Structure 1
Amino acid sequence: MFYAIGKLATRYRWWIVGVWLLAGLLALPFAPRASSVLRSGGFFDPNAESQKAIDLLTSKLHLNLTTVQVIYDSKQYRVEDPIFTQKVEQSLAQVRNWSMVGSVVSYTDNPRQISQDRHAAYVNVELKTDADTAPKILPQLEQRLRHVDGMTYHVGGGAVFYEDIQQVSENDLRRAELLAFPFATIALLLVFRSVVAAILPGLVGGFAVVVTLAMLFGLGQVTDLSIFVLNITTLFGLGLGVDYSLFIVSRFREELARGRGVNEATVLTIATAGRAVAFSGLTVSIGLFGLTFFRINMLRSVGLGGMLVVLLAVAAALTLLPALLSILGTRINAFPVRVPRLWGRRQAAQEPVGDHHGFWYRLSQFVMRYPVRIFVSVLCLLVAFGLPFLGVRFSAPDASILPPYVPSREAYDMLQQRFNLRETTPIILAVQTKGDVLSDQNIRNLYAYTKRIEADPRVQRVDSIVSADPRFTLDQYELLYHNPKLVTDPYLGALLKSTVSGNTMLVQVVSKYEMNDIRSQELVVTIRNTNPGNGIHVLVDGGSAADYDYVTTLYTDFPKAVLIIFAITYLVLFLLFRSLVLPLKAILMNTLSILASYGALVIIFQDGFLHQFLNFSPLGFVEASSPILLFCTLFGLSMDYEVFLLSRIQETFWQTGDNTRSVALGLQRSGGIITSAAVIVIVVSACFATADVILVKALGVGMALAVFLDATFVRGLLVPSTMRLLGDWNWWLPFKGVQRKPPTLDEYMLDEDAAALSLNGHSESKDAQDINVGGKL
């Protein structure tokens, strides 16, 4: 099939180039607009209990979750000073009468909105809009807020957080692109030592990214996609586009160096390196496909965008690139650049077959001389790198994943440092009763239920209509709510109006511990597992509950995704290598390098190692989706190099039948190119490690580290040692009737020539018979 693709690419080269140019021109107006249709949320499971609780309260109580916090701070005045309140009201004057504002809850209404040093307080502004459209009206809100002398304000809250993620993600992408393109170009010049050859990979990656972004713009019109698709699309488009082009261009130059003609070299390149590229792209897509099985929309979006760009990168590498190669021919080496040679005495891609004196050949011989020692040493090293992951703490993303200079992060830091965070992040209970909440029987039942919750030593306070005043008895509450219209106390009246509707009531439980504390999450589990009895049904939400549900959802879905990825990858590699052992070994090798990068996640982002160098504040936890993103992206990317290495080993094994020699020659012929490709991916990943959003930074750092470990310790040491230890078992295939060794490329060519002679009426000629009998040139 790949031989045929190569033939078509050379025969219709100008048509293929024209189609890709047209696709690029059509995509160009839409690609820059992709971010306008992407969403900054998507970190929740619509079927989680916390989300069901919010949906219930929103529908029954018309609970408004689109709240903006305006935090006022004054070094000169205290909250008790009348001038403090006067200045706050001056600042809010144009906000209170704005048609887009539903209500304003001031610190004068709720004293818990005052800072502990009493020099700051915040006001909750509820907007008449949903979470998706709220960021669009934030600029108007900020224009209506007036600056007053002697006081500063900060604007925070969920809507501001999502707006900041959108803006910072776009800035991160632009910065990464500005860094990645020149550094990748320099790396390609060092590898190819030719301007023309170095430009081609950039064209392939660029076309893949531009067309994918345009497709995402279209998909974003009909479905919700996460803003993080932008980063993963560019990262994979550039990294893999350059990767695949590097392997194909290197193989093309190698075939030219062997004396083949341009068209023949192109066809043979696609039939060999192109075949490996196709299977490599398939394995990468399988890893990203695993993300689509998660209920979290952010992960599904990243998986979808990643698969699109990978498939387009493969399509460009198998069609556009060979078309360009057949047009350029020997001009691929035009405009040579004199630079230091990289990998040993000569460039690995141009070494003639049978060269037994290269660096990689000597390395493989050394490894296979001491396979047990090297296998055990490298295995212990990689396991040691991964051990810190045993102490991981998972959490959902909050404003701490953003840089300190953005508004939502400034507001978050102020709330954390100067306010009682436990008051701002209560556990929320959506309570439903049989019949009206305010019936005498339900008041008694709810009173008993809240008392049970209050008795828990982890509970600071319960806020509800039956625990509003600790001085009230059950009889007083029954009497008070027997006729709710007669309630004259303004606080109780407001509480009734905002927390009760028909058979639904809102209860807030304030924990003694912070939202992310394990004890607060255990309290959530305890409340959920406690039967309220008496026909009462409770759904639990709040920061602690949403965090718990987020992590639980992710790591409930993760094992299923891993099994699916392993199973499909094994099948694909079985079809590629025609062995039962090699696919299993490849999967285990990949898993080792990924586990090592997991340890780095904990050391760097949870514990803060190198945080000053990487320019971020330590989180104290690992964002729960980071290991999953790393696994699904790195599994395919690491398999990328495994496929290229084992393909060259397999090619040599089919020629020689000698396992040890085929490993040495396969590593010699691919080691330099794999290292070059890894360097480029590390460079691109490192550029994304400059991101201000810690989620993207962690992905960039983790990928760069894992690819480095994979291209050095795993491919250079672990794979050769395991190949040597397994010997001929590497190629074990007990099934009868399965073709172990396909026809050689020369046999493909001769079969095609024989078919052509047959069509011309010469199928019985002596030349055709010689071709069919000889089978090889």
Structure 2
Amino acid sequence: MLYRIGQLTYRLRWVIIVVWAGLFVLSLNFALKVPSLLQSGFGDMDTESRQALKLLADKLNITESGFIIVFSSLDMTIDDPRYIHEMESVMAPLNKLPEIIRMDTFYDGGTNEMISPDRRTVYAVVSMRGTIDEAIQSVPKIENFIQSDLLDIWITGGVPIFSDINNASENDLRRGEIIAIPLVLTALIFVFRGLVPAAVPVAMGVVSVTCSLAILYFVAQHTGVSIFALNLVSFLGLGVAIDYSLLIVSRYRDKLKLCSGEEAIAQTIGTAGEVIIFSGLTSILGLGSLVLFDLMMLRSLGIGGVLVISTSLIVSMTLVPAVLCIVSGRFKSVSGRDQPTLSSRYWKVLTTLVMRRPIWVAVPIICLLVVLGIPFLNINLGSPWASMLPVDAPSRQGWDVVSQEIGIGELTPVVIAAQFDGNPTSQTNILSFAEIVKNLENHHTVKRVESILSPDKSFQTIKQNYAGTDTTMIRVFSHYDPLDHRSKDLVQDIRNLNLDPNFQLLVTGATADLMDSVDAMYKDFPKAVGFVIATVYFALFVLFRSVILPFKAVILNMMSIFASYGALVYIFQEGHLQNIFQFTSEGVTEATVPILLFAIIFGLSMDYEIFLLSRIKEFYQATQDNAVSVARGMQDTGPLITNAALILVLVAVSFASSDIVIIKALAVGTAIAVFLDATIVRTLLVPALMRIMDRWNWWAPSFIIRLFPKI
């Protein structure tokens, strides 16, 4: 069937090219509009912290949307009339904006804790209407108002931080593509020793990314899609589309030495097409597992990943061969040249040496992968907030100023929504409420508690907003960073309080939201892992008609992932190499990164396994000699796998220049995993294990084999 598709592609080559050219031009318009539809943040889940936020919004009109204005001076204190006048002048225009609900400052009823000990730095709290994404649209306008010649001013907090993340994501996308495309093109020119053969895979990558973003534009109109989908689609689109195109181009160039253009295309699609389809399927299954999560960010990244892999698959099976038909003359001029990568003879000799002492090769490599993964055992999941931004981002600078001058945790209190059976200030309720506040104040991690019972007279104006008809709010300030385990213990202790049956406490805030999100994500993670392993195993069983080979492939993939997890913790959590990668470690691993890495790496690593085993299978069916088949399979695919991995590593390294720590971690983790997989695992461990298993590699019960058609 694939052979006939190849023949049809040759005959309709101009039609296919014209159709894809039209799709590309149409897609450009929609692809450029995608950022305006993407959402900030990670999305809502049905957790206690989210329920608390909804209760506060409904009962007290306290929304997530808002920001902090930080004022500071080197030579004036907040008592200086010039300081006061300048601060009032800056904030006055904000009162006229319809999206502003209220502003709370030290001067109109705020607390002394809003100012630094040297009285040179102070912050104000601004509440806004609407969702965070709606509020983000107002950030440029607000920044125009926040100007001063006398004071240093920053805006920080939720809305400005998400705004800076959006801007940084779009800048990262442009930077990553600007770095990746020339690097990849240069590498492919070296591989093919010709500009045209090198340009074809790069052009296909650009087409895949553009068309995928256009489809994402329409998806985003019907469901929430994270801003990070922009980077993932571009990263995977360039890497995977170029890898698939590289396989087609390499196989076509080999076929041109033996037959005419039409026959070469037909045979290329007939052989390489099967490999690409199953490779794409495993990547789709890996990324598709993200759809099983409730978190909008993970779910939308799964949708984006499936879209770009599917598009890359279709492009490589239709547009790539059609273009090759047109430029085949340029391929003939280079088809006789030897590849400049490691020669086929080298791979045959290396594989033969490995298979002579397979146990001596396999055991040390397995031990090495285990050792590389050991740091993962000490993983500390978290979610860096402002620190995920570069140090020169305005919202990051404002956040750091408050932390350094006023106190850690000042902007991230534990927030409690207390709902009563009746008015919170009734005699019965106020006694129970006072007991809870007293317990909180006596907690060893608590710096202060703000509530309707706070005695601070300067707090009287603000605390009027803390109570409604049956609900009130408590803000608990910790001595520690919101990611610190002692802050997490505080949240858990509050949730474990013995409550009066007449009211309930719902805990939210940065620490509680992080804890709830991590618990919810990792509750779903085992299901996603099980789904991927089961479906990929089945797909490989159908392809190779073996019980052992799919099992070995899954185990080796898990070992590569474990090693990359260890590297991730070593670099990003423990802070090694942070100067090289230009980030500041917060002592945590961003909670979504291990999940995303699993979904990405499992599929990408399986690509190389399929590339290799498919070729070995062809030789085994012809010779029935396991050792010879492995050696010849490595000889044929070794250069291809090396080149494909090199391309993907170059793309990943390009995106490792990202200013956003999450994207940087994903890129670095992917680069490490692909490098390990294509070198140590596929080059040494796979042939060693296949030699040890010998004919058992191809075993499967005959009654099961009869249930599935031969592919």
Alpha-carbon deviations, 1:553-594, whole Å to 9, x = none?
221111111111111111111111111111111011111111
* 2:259 counterpart of 1:260: yes
Say if 1:607 and 1:618, in contact at 8 Å, map to a contact too. yes
Partners of 1:435 and 1:79 in 2: how far apart?
A: 41
Residue 747 (structure 1) aligns with: none
Structure 2 residue 436 is the aligned partner of structure 1 residue 469? no
Distance in structure 1 (CA, Å) of the matches to 2:477 and 2:93: 33
Q: 2:120 matched to which residue of 1?
A: 119
Task: Say if 1:732 and 1:283 are closer, same or farther in 2 by CA, change over 3 A.
Answer: same
CA spacing shift, 1:422–1:693, aligned 2, 3 Å: closer
Q: Give, in angstroms, the shift of residue 511 of structure 1.
A: 2.4
Q: 1:539 to 1:743 in 2, by over 3 A?
A: closer
1:141 maps to a residue whose letter is I
Change (3 A) 1:115 1:585: same
Q: Secondary structure at the match of 2:236?
A: helix
Distance 1:505 1:628 in 2: 37
Give matches, 1:564-575, under 5 Å.
Answer: 564-575=531-542
CA drift of 1:90 comes to 2.5
* 1:36 counterpart = 2:36: yes
What letter is aligned with 2:253? R
Instruction: Show the counterpart of 1:436.
Output: 423
The aligned residue for residue 521 of structure 2 is 554
Q: Which of residues 439, 454, 477 in structure 1 aligns to 2:441? A: 454
> Partners in 2 of 1:239 and 1:492 — Cα distance?
58
Residues 1:240 and 1:140: Cα distance change in structure 2 (over 3 Å): same
What's the offset of the Cα at 1:134? 1.3
Matched residue, 2:391? 404
Residue aligning to 2:311: 312
2:45 is the counterpart of 1:46: yes
Q: Identify which range, 655-664 or 117-126, moves more after superposition.
A: 117-126
Q: Give, in whole Å, the separation in 2 of the partners of 1:545 and 1:268.
A: 58
1:153 aligns with 2:140: no
User: Which deviations, in whole Å up to 9, do the C-alpha atoms of 1:393-445 show, x marking residues without a partner?
Assistant: 21113110111111111111112211112332211111111122222211122
User: Does 2:144 match 1:143?
Assistant: yes
> Which secondary structure state, in structure 2, belongs to the residue aligned with residue 547 of structure 1?
helix
Residue 207 of structure 1: aligned partner: 207
- Cα offset for 1:708? 0.7
Flag structure 2 segments of 5+ consecutive residues without an equivalent. Answer: none
Partner of 2:11: 11
2:15 alignment partner AA: W
What is the identity percentage for the equivalent residue pairs of Structure 1 and Structure 2? 40
> 1:341 Cα shift?
5.1
Maintained 8 Å contact 1:90/1:146: no
What residue in structure 1 maps to residue 572 of structure 2? Answer: 605
Amino acid at match of 2:78: V
TM-score where L is the length of structure 1: 0.88
Q: Structure 1 pair 197/493, CA: closer, same or farther in 2 (3 Å)? A: closer
The answer (yes or no) to whether the contact 1:251–1:269 under 8 Å persists in 2 is yes
2:665 matches 1:698: yes
Distance 1:282 1:341 in 2: 29
CA distance in structure 1 between the aligned counterparts of 2:504 and 2:117, rounded to whole angstroms: 36
Give the match for residue 282 of structure 1. 281
**Post-superposition shift, 1:608?**
2.0
> Is the contact between residue 290 and residue 632 of structure 1 (CA under 8 Å) also seen in structure 2?
yes
- Distance in 2, matches of 1:737 and 1:458, equals 61
Contact 1:247 1:273 in 2 (8 A): yes
User: 1:231-277: CA deviations, max 9, x gaps?
Assistant: 111111111111011111111122222x2222222111111111000
Note if contact 1:154-1:411 (Cα within 8 Å) is conserved in structure 2: yes
CA distance in 1, matches of 2:193, 2:239: 19
Question: Could you say what the CA RMSD is over the residues aligned between the two structures, in angstroms?
Answer: 2.0
The aligned residue for residue 24 of structure 2 is 24
What is the identity, as a one-letter code, of the residue corresponding to 1:372?
A: I
* Structure 2 counterpart of 1:390: 377
Looking at structure 2, the residues matched to 710 and 225 of structure 1 have their Cα atoms a distance apart, in angstroms, of 31
2:704 and 2:437 map into 1 onto residues whose CA distance is 71
On the 8 A contact 2:376/2:566 being kept in 1, the answer is yes
Post-superposition CA distance 1:349-402 (Å, at most 9, x none): xxxxxxxxx111111111111111111111111111111112222111311011
Taking structure 1 as reference, are residues 454 and 391 closer, same or farther at Cα in structure 2, changes over 3 Å only? same
Deviation sequence 1:207-232 (CA, Å, 0-9, x none) = 11111111111222222111111111
Alignment partner of 1:272 is 2:239: no
Q: Which residue of 2 aligns with 1:92?
A: 91
Q: Which whole-Å CA distance do the structure 1 matches of 2:48 and 2:702 have between them?
A: 49
Of 526, 533, 538, the residue aligned with 2:505 is 538
For the structure 1 residues 649 and 335, does the alpha-carbon distance in structure 2 shift closer, same or farther, using more than 3 Å as the test? closer
Give yes or no for the alignment of 1:132 onto 2:118: no
**3-state SS of paired residue (1:421):** coil
CA 1:701–1:321: 2 relative to 1, 3 Å:
same
1:343 alignment partner in structure 2 = 341
List runs of 5+ in structure 1 lacking aligned partners. Answer: 349-357, 471-488, 745-777
1:579 — aligned with what? 546
2:192–2:339 contact (8 Å) kept in structure 1 = no
Q: Are the equivalent residues in 2 in contact too, given 1:292–1:301 (CA < 8 A)?
A: yes
CA distance in 2, matches of 1:742, 1:220: 39
- Confirm or deny: 8 A CA contact 1:196 1:334 kept in the other structure: no
**Hey, what's the Cα distance between the residues in 1 that align with 2:100 and 2:215?**
37
In the alignment, does 2:400 pair up with 1:413?
A: yes
Residue in 1 that maps onto 2:218: 218
Query: Where does residue 654 of structure 2 map in the other structure?
Result: 687
Contact persistence 2:649–2:671 (CA under 8 A): yes
Distance across 1 between alignment mates of 2:119 and 2:104: 18
Does the aligned pair in 2 maintain the 1:196–1:333 contact within 8 Å? no
- Count of residues in Structure 1 that have an aligned counterpart in Structure 2: 709
Question: CA 1:59–1:332 in 2, change beyond 3 Å: closer, same or farther?
Answer: same
> Structure 1's 98 and 246: CA in aligned 2 closer, same or farther, altered over 3 A?
closer
Query: What SS does structure 2 have at the residue aligned with 1:63?
Result: coil
Tell me which residue corresponds to 2:248.
248
Find the structure with the greater CA-based Rg.
Answer: 1
Cα distance, 1:696 vs. partner? 0.8
The equivalences for 1:317-396 within 5 A come to 317-334=316-333, 342-345=340-343, 348=344, 358-396=345-383
What is the Cα deviation at residue 743 of structure 1?
7.8
**What secondary structure, in the 3-state scheme, does the structure 2 residue paired with 1:78 have?**
coil
